[in-house]
Structure 1
Amino acid sequence: MVQMKSFTQAMLSQPRMDSLDNPTAYQVGLVLLGIGSMLVLSSFFALGFTGTFLGDYFGILKEARVTTFPFNILDNPMYWGSTANYLGWAIMHASPTGLLLTMVVALIYVVAILYEEPFTAEIYRQKSSQFHKRS
């Protein structure tokens, strides 16, 4: 929530983009915000608290890797949902600064995914192989 407040303050302190300052763009922003919120919230409900907040880094794993909604339609839905929230908010505020900051956020998420995805795949592969050894 602090990030969104800082993001909003950065946007509001800068000029608006005339081409985005219209009702259609505002509605597109609202749709992106709705989709992003749905992805973030459904990811949280699917992963639970520990799955969301680095439980896998401390050995607190689910029985198996989560593949239910929204993970069955999109890899890393929490990252992409959060990015959609930032993008929607930037469009709603007709903010070129917001668009630039959204690109920075997306880039950071892509880098995080490059490190996190192989780690997550490996820990669940190891858990599965340990399970099969015991069976």
Structure 2
Amino acid sequence: MIRLLGYVNPSDPSFVAAVLTITFNPLFWNVVARWEQKTRRLSKAFGSPYLACYALGGAILLLNLVRSHCFTQAMLSQPKMESLDNAGAYRVGLVLLGVGALFVLTSFSALGFTGTFLGDYFGILKEARVTTFPFSVLDNPMYWGSTANYLGWAIMHASPTGLLLTAIVAIVYVVAVLYEEPFTAEIYRQKAAKSHKRS
């Protein structure tokens, strides 16, 4: 790890921008979603919980594009690691990118747009929690697929900066899961309890 840090200039503006966008994105969407869940202000403003969820989803997608751009710029502005700059490492990175894309795309397919972009905070619930692939293989496959994408991208660019930023992405996602998971479990528990009472 110390060897890795020797390649990274933490005061580089592109590195600072990458760290800020990596940490800001989940904070933004969790704060906005919790605020919506408590107040329903976005649903009222847009006239529909679906339209409000689509608007938040669009904002999240835009912020994710900015995050990926900042991540790439930070990698390109700092030195490569010679030991990673070879065809074998590049292929490993490519495989990680493929696995990450598989988890992200199949997760989106299983959840749909509103399921992916915090629809449960808007009161838009599935019949039950999704347990099919990729959720049958991995909890939070969207987050871990995204992390695998960043890791693959960093390895393909032989970038110690990218590896460090990927570690930050993983830590931020772990915190996001700790914040989101109890809420999701509780709303589906409440939904099951209501269904059970009606039966």
TM-score, structure 1 as length reference: 0.99
Counterpart for residue 91 of structure 1: 155
Are 2:86 and 1:22 aligned? yes
For residues 32-80 of structure 1, give each alpha carbon's deviation from its aligned partner in whole angstroms, at most 9, with x where no partner exists: 0000000000000000000011100111000000001100000000000
Counterpart for residue 120 of structure 2: 56
Looking at structure 2, the residues matched to 27 and 3 of structure 1 have their Cα atoms a distance apart, in angstroms, of: 24
Looking at structure 1, the residues matched to 69 and 94 of structure 2 have their Cα atoms a distance apart, in angstroms, of: 17
Q: How large is the RMSD of aligned CA atoms in angstroms?
A: 0.5
Please report how far the alpha carbon of residue 6 of structure 1 lies from its aligned counterpart in structure 2 after TM superposition.
1.2
Letter of the aligned partner of 1:110 in structure 2?
A: V
Q: Which runs of 5+ in 1 are unaligned?
A: none
Q: Which runs of 5+ in 2 are unaligned?
A: 1-64
Looking at structure 1, the residues matched to 69 and 84 of structure 2 have their Cα atoms a distance apart, in angstroms, of: 21
Q: Which 4+ stretches in 1 moved above 4 angstroms?
A: none
Are 2:99 and 1:39 aligned? no
Secondary structure of the residue aligned to 1:67 is coil
Q: Which has the higher contact order (CA 8 A, sep 6+)?
A: 1
Counterpart for residue 132 of structure 1: 196
Letter of the aligned partner of 1:16 in structure 2?
A: K
**Which stretch of the first structure deviates more once superposed, 87-96 or 116-125?**
116-125
**Which stretch of the first structure deviates more once superposed, 72-81 or 114-123?**
114-123
TM-score, structure 2 as length reference: 0.67
Letter of the aligned partner of 2:176 in structure 1?
A: A
Larger radius of gyration: 2
Looking at structure 2, the residues matched to 33 and 68 of structure 1 have their Cα atoms a distance apart, in angstroms, of: 22
Secondary structure of the residue aligned to 1:62 is coil
Pairing partner for 1:77 from 141, 150, 165: 141
Looking at structure 2, the residues matched to 2 and 115 of structure 1 have their Cα atoms a distance apart, in angstroms, of: 23
